[in-house]
Amino acid sequence: MIVSNTYSNAKIEGCNVTFLETKTILDGVNVANAKLDDIPKKWAILIAHLIKVIFLQFLIVHQ
């Protein structure tokens, strides 16, 4: 989910990367056509944080 959302946001921001390249970059590996700097890491961090918050709220509600 994080990769998918990051990929979508990268496309909106005009980054020329494929889905697989996005996954590879988020894993911390540079790819031939793009670098780590080409993916807006801030989106990945924000999305990861939101997923954690939602999951914690789910756990609290379903105790």
Q: Where are the domains of the chain?
A: 2-61
Q: Which two tokens stand for residue 58?
A: 């789910």
* Residue pair 34/21 in contact by the 8 Å Cβ criterion: yes
Predicted confidence at residue 19, as pLDDT, reads 92
Spatial distance between the Cα atoms of 31 and 17, rounded to a whole number of angstroms: 10
Spatial distance between the Cα atoms of 63 and 43, rounded to a whole number of angstroms: 30
Per-residue pLDDT tens over the stretch 19-53? 998 888 778 787 777 666 656 666 677 777 778 88
